Homo-oligomer: A and B are copies of this chain.
């Protein structure tokens, strides 16, 4: 997953004639690309997209017991998806007694969102 994104010299074209525009390079830094990739990867599942959607629209903390019945997967699978989102920094959670409440950390989406726009 960790990759060298360093700009290296341009490949030579066969007969010296350039194959295209002189030099092309990324504007995003390596670390930036990696941060955004982590977030994008965490969003790369329809269940997790929907989870984030629910949590964002609700604008508060939502109990896991509310989330589980929204999907046709087992409780442990949903817990796994929530963990993925937590690990990517997209959501955070809080326990209150028996229940666990999840909420979105909006800042986590900002960089990717800005880059996409």
Interface residues of A (CB under 8 A from B): 1-11, 13-14, 19-21, 23-28, 30, 33-34, 36-38, 40-50, 53-54, 57-58, 60-63, 65-73, 98-99, 101, 109, 112-113, 115-117
Contacts and interface: CB of A to CB of B under 8 A. Distances in A.
7 contacts: A4-B72, A21-B63, A33-B46, A33-B47, A37-B44, A40-B40, A109-B116
Contact of A73 (B3, B24, B58): B3
B49 A40 contact: yes
Nearest to A67: B24
Q: How many copies does the complex hold?
A: 2
A108 to B, nearest CB: 11
B49 A37 contact: yes
Contacts of A54: 24-27
Contact of A50 (B1, B26, B109): B26
B49 A45 contact: no
Contact of A71 (B5, B112, B116): B5
A77 to B, nearest CB: 10
Nearest to A32: B49
Given A41-B40, A62-B21, A27 B53 contact: yes
